[in-house]
Amino acid sequence: MTIYQNLIGGEWIGSDATENINPSDTNEVVGLYADGSAEDTKNAIAAAKAAFPAWSRSGIWERHVILKKAGDEIMARKDELGALLAREEGKTLPEAIGETIRASQIFEFFAGEALRLAGEVIPSVRPNIGVEITRDPLGVIGIITPWNFPIAIPAWKIAPALCYGNTVVFKPAELVPACSWAIVDILHRAGLPKGVLNLVMGKGSVVGQAMLDSPDVSGITFTGSTGTGRRVAAASLEHNRKFQLEMGGKNPMVVLDDADLDVAVEAAANSGFFSTGQRCTASSRLIVTEGIHDKFVAALTAKLETLVVDNALKAGTHIGPVVDEKQLKTDTDYIEIGKQEGAKLAFGGELISRETPGFYLQPTLFTEATNEMRISREEIFGPVVSLIRVKDYEEALATANDTPFGLSSGIATTSLKHATHFKRNAEAGMVMVNLPTAGVDFHVPFGGRKGSSYGPREQGKYAAEFYTIVKTSYTLA
């Protein structure tokens, strides 16, 4: 089998490899991908450092052309790359193709942003002096990504990093190297100079740690678990380095008595269980007022009955497998915890076997949960949802905000008053009205507050905040 190698200083390198296994069919090896060392990482950082002066001064047209070319190729290959994504991560083929299209759109967006770079010219308070405010690139950006969006998250970090003139060392998650390799290959062939984008696949504790420990990495953008996020923060403070973290969520979706029942059920089923509940914006807490509670539980469980859990590539599958055995164990452990805590298992909770061996778990709904239970406070990252009954809107809002996290927060209501009040008072980076808490646009800011995120927003024009440093220049003339 071919080994997909690391790209370091413009050369494909590496002979040690790890198997990439399909969670829908654990007999299938998607490919062999390089297992990089700390030495590889150091070499990649050195190559990125050496490439920075020329790339940071490269013309905006060159950056535009390369990013546009990459976006075009991703779009042209959306079905093939979508299938690769579904095979390595386990989300359904339509979801995987949708994510691939989004990656293409992100490259298109930042290809455009490269042509819109601008500064400000402001008069000084002192006569005959002009002030210019411009943005410089940071330098070498370390990109560390998780497994749940194998193409979109790398795209939304790599595209702005390159757009604003930075060079990159990119470390994808161990479980999903294939899409990362594919987009690095596309960008390399699109004409990036040597060393501008380096790919080091390998273990977090080896490759990731070597990035954290390097004084030559000027910024780290990280999406992943809270524990690793804290390590990124601590190491970055040590090196006086800029960092940006996207971590966990325990996103609430409030359902009020006056909600349109169909809209509420669709939104809850989608954001609770699609993508196997493995989205940081998934609704893992449904907070439902008394008047609609029983109707909503009946309609949601009826909807869950209709959802097919099966091989991600099979037509008609709504929910693919859990990503791997470790995550499956986390999910089933929390299902046990929920039972022990006294929540009522209203749907699911069982492993399923299918034609192909994989990590199949029923969508799982706990009712009669309280917001104090561990299943309502800790991020599970699987298709396991707590439903909490509350008296009224005020209790619903207080419960929604009573969490260590703050990424996305949703409400299903037909009341303009409650929707408006919720948008103003939800303690979250993103608020959704009559929509799933997951599913965001690529051209507007993404990010959270409290324990979910740290640092500037990602995506859209707000991405410039992280990937550049503001410079103020004064000229006597």
Residue 145 as a binder of ligand ADP (CB under 6 A): the answer is yes
Q: Does 18 bind ligand ADP (CB under 6 A)?
A: no
**The only residue of 144, 151, 183, 396 in contact with ligand ADP, by rule CB under 6 A:** 144
Is residue 35 within 8 Å of residue 176, measured between CB atoms? no
Query: Which one, of 147, 404, 138, 65, lies nearest residue 250 by Cα?
Result: 404
246 tagged catalytic:
yes
At closest approach, how far in Å is the CB of 207 from ligand ADP? 7
Alpha helices by DSSP H, listed for 115-214, are 152-163, 177-189, 209-212
254 burial type by CB count under 10 A (0-12 exposed, 13-18 middle, 19+ buried)? buried
Q: Is 93 left (phi over 0), alpha (psi -120 to 50) or beta?
A: alpha
The catalytic position among 108, 246, 266, 379 is 246
Place of tokens 């995120």: 453
Among 18, 26, 209, 415, binds ligand ADP (CB under 6 A): 209
Query: Which position among 280, 379, 458, 465 bears the catalytic label?
Result: 280
Alpha-carbon torsion 172, 173, 174, 180, what sign? Answer: negative
Cα angle 178, 278, 461 (rounded to 5 degrees) comes to 75
Q: Does 340 bind ligand ADP (CB under 6 A)?
A: no
Q: List the interface residues with ligand ADP, window 188-207 (CB under 6 A).
A: 204-205
**CB closer to ligand ADP, 60 vs 233:** 233
Smallest separation (angstroms) from ligand ADP to the CB of 359: 15
* Binding segment toward ligand ADP, per CB under 6 A, in 178-186, 208-216, 311-319, 423-431: 208-216
d(Cα 102, Cα 204) in Å, to the nearest integer? Answer: 26
Give yes or no for residue 371 binding ligand ADP (CB under 6 A).
no
Please select the residue that binds ligand ADP; options are 71, 139, 146, 321, rule is CB under 6 A: 146
- As a whole number of angstroms, the distance between CA 246 and CA 154 comes to 13
Residue nearer to ligand ADP on the CB measure, 162 or 220: 220
For ligand ADP, the closer CB: 30 or 144: 144
DSSP 286-340: EEEEHHHHHHHHHHHHHHHHHPPB--TTSTT-SB---S-HHHHHHHHHHHHHHHH
Q: How far apart are the two ends of the chain, measured CA to CA in Å?
A: 65
Binding flag, residue 330, ligand ADP (CB under 6 A): no
- Using the rule CB under 6 A, is 324 a contact of ligand ADP? no
Give 145 or 218: the residue with its C-beta nearer to ligand ADP.
145
Helix axes 290-306, 261-273, angle to 10 degrees: 60
**Distance (Å, whole) CA 125 – CA 331:** 61
Residues 212-271 that bind ligand ADP (CB under 6 A): 212, 224-225, 228, 231
Closest approach, Cβ 382 to ligand ADP, in A, equals 11
Binding residues for ligand ADP, total number by CB under 6 A = 16
Q: Which chain residues interact with ligand ADP by CB under 6 A?
A: 144-147, 171, 173-174, 204-205, 208-209, 212, 224-225, 228, 231
| Active site positions, annotated | 246, 280
